[in-house]
Amino acid sequence: MSAKWLNDAVFYEIYPQSFYDSNGDGIGDLNGIREKLDYIRGLGCNALWINPCYDSPFKDAGYDVRDYKRIAPRYGTNEDMIRLFDAAHEKGIRVLLDLVPGHTSDEHPWFLESRKARRNAYSDRYIWTNGWLEGAQGMPFISGECERDGAYIPSFFKCQPALNYGFLNPSEPWQLPANHPAALKTREAIKDVMRFWLSRGCDGFRADMAESLVKNDDADRSGTSAVWRDIRRMLDLEFPDAVMVSEWGRPRLSLRAGFDMDFYLNWRGNGYSTLLRDYENHENADYSYFKKDGGSSINRFLDEYLRMLEDTRGQGYLSLITGNHDTIRLRHTLDETELKLAYAFLFTLPGVPFLYYGDEIGMRYLNLPTKEGGYTRTGSRTPMQWSQGPNLGFSTCEKEDLYLPVDESADAPTVAAQENDPDSLLSTLRAVLALRHREKGLQADGIFQVICSEPGKPFVYRRGELILALNTTGEALSVSAKLGEIQRIFQLGIVQYDGHLLSVMPQSFAIMKCTGP
């Protein structure tokens, strides 16, 4: 049973090096996050997910961990993290850290021991073949860099050796079974990391590449699922209010493996991508549902989403995102009106939603050279844009010292420019989130019922006692409906109801309370 607080949770994802620089060195830090907690709470977000902030060589932006129990000096200290936990809790905000369980940096002390020729306590903490000429049979491998006579298996980049959770069906002498003592020690080491931060105020974790722990796993990831269920038992016993969200994308498996939430990830061509990023499948065309002229049907999303909702029933939650540190920002293709409609929709669906920093003001994707292993993702990781002026309020450093450049367009969106504008994207999002918190039917556990999804008609759906109507196109759409008396409690554009016909004008959305069926 997931923690009760998730029913009303709205998460805000923070890329720590790009959120707010409190000491003028050009890079965001934990004290900067702490200074902006009132802003986050004012958005309507009552939970945080902070991307990795542990000690690291930063060859993959912190997803190459050198020390799980030490905050990277550029972000502050362990004491700064504890102060952030405490300050967030005082304001009713929960904090999740990013857990990287599948690999470490090649500079981690465990790996420095594991790579030695002489056997030691860490020799089997990572996956090694038995000889420097022996490959890994379909898996990536790195050879010729270590004293040890063997090749190691990386998890992603070369600098990220994979931790050894064993193989479900070992086929080579160097492949340990998942119940081997060495594989179990790896599992216990990750539990120890989790205990370390949970005992200091952390409220849970987002698990990076959660489905990939046990190698040669079967289609249902039974080996990896067993690892997570074991971790879940530890949490239930020692930290029963802690939660986990998985980077997995298959809720039928992940939620039964012990996760409270699973991200609906932006995989090319899946239902989520048809809503917002359907340009990735086509050359010089964008068929995204929220594009005014996209010509898309909501059913491309619903056909998959409704199945996934059924997979989560009674097990946990599906988490939709505006974006994240791995995806191109929505403003890259959607204009402000399209974004307003998209946010009104995403944040009125069941499950636990996540808002990526800067999406609330429509920050743009910038075409930038790679930074710290970001490659094409780098343009979605730029500094938060707080106000006009030097560095758009992110830092007092010199321009050339910024972690990444800010948007230098004359119309670069900022918090200050939208703060007091009732028609701004920021104000619209705040209004939607305030309504979500106020109306129980809009929260994670509320029912979701499709009323109309026919082509050529508005999309109409029910959440609790609320009826919601959406038209993303450039033409007026209508549908016959018996709603009884209605009260509009939120509206974008124009939505009309005469007792028989629900008419939704171009690019309009409404939330209505009704006394009818």
DSSP 119-136: --TTTTSB-B-SSTT---
Given the DSSP bridges, would you call strands 466-471 and 67-71 parallel, antiparallel or unpaired?
A: unpaired
pLDDT at 1: 66
User: Per the structure block, which two tokens stand in for 188?
Assistant: 């216990």
Fold of 448-514: Immunoglobulin-like (2.60.40)
In this structure, which amino acid lies at residue 1?
A: M
Per-residue pLDDT tens for 120-169?
999 999 999 999 999 898 899 999 999 999 999 999 999 999 999 999 99
Per-residue pLDDT tens for 9-31?
999 999 999 999 999 999 999 99
pLDDT at 283: 81
Per-residue pLDDT tens for 385-397?
999 999 999 999 9
pLDDT at 516: 54
Mean pLDDT for 204-220 is 97
d(CA 221, CA 227) in angstroms, rounded, equals 10
Mean pLDDT for 235-244 is 97
DSSP 369-399: ---TT-GGGGGGSPPP--SSSGGGGS-SS-G
CATH 3.90.400.10, the chain: domain bounds: 103-162
pLDDT at 484: 86
Domain covering 103-162 assigned CATH 3.30.2320.80 in the classification: no
CATH 3.20.20.80, the chain: domain bounds: 4-101+184-438
CB 354 within 8 A of CB 47: no
d(CA 189, CA 65) in angstroms, rounded, equals 14
CB 480 within 8 A of CB 474: no
- With the C-alpha atoms ordered 274, 275, 280, 283, is the resulting torsion angle positive or negative? positive
d(CA 96, CA 119) in angstroms, rounded, equals 36
User: Per the structure block, which two tokens stand in for 85?
Assistant: 């936990």
Domain covering 4-101+184-438 assigned CATH 3.20.20.80 in the classification: yes
| 384-405 residues labelled b (16+ CB within 10 A) or e (exposed) | bbbeeeebbbbbebeeeebbbe
In this structure, which amino acid lies at residue 125?
A: R
- For residue 229, the tally of other CB atoms under 10 A from its CB is 13
Whether the per-residue pLDDT at 454 is higher than 90: the answer is yes
d(CA 116, CA 150) in angstroms, rounded, equals 10
What percent of the chain has a predicted confidence (pLDDT) above 90? 95
CATH 2.60.40.1180, the chain: domain bounds: 448-514
Mean pLDDT for all residues in the chain: 96
Mean pLDDT for 221-246 is 98
- Side-chain-side CA neighbours of residue 237 (13 Å): 8
Residue 280: pLDDT band with limits 50, 70, 90: confident
Mean pLDDT for 356-382 is 98
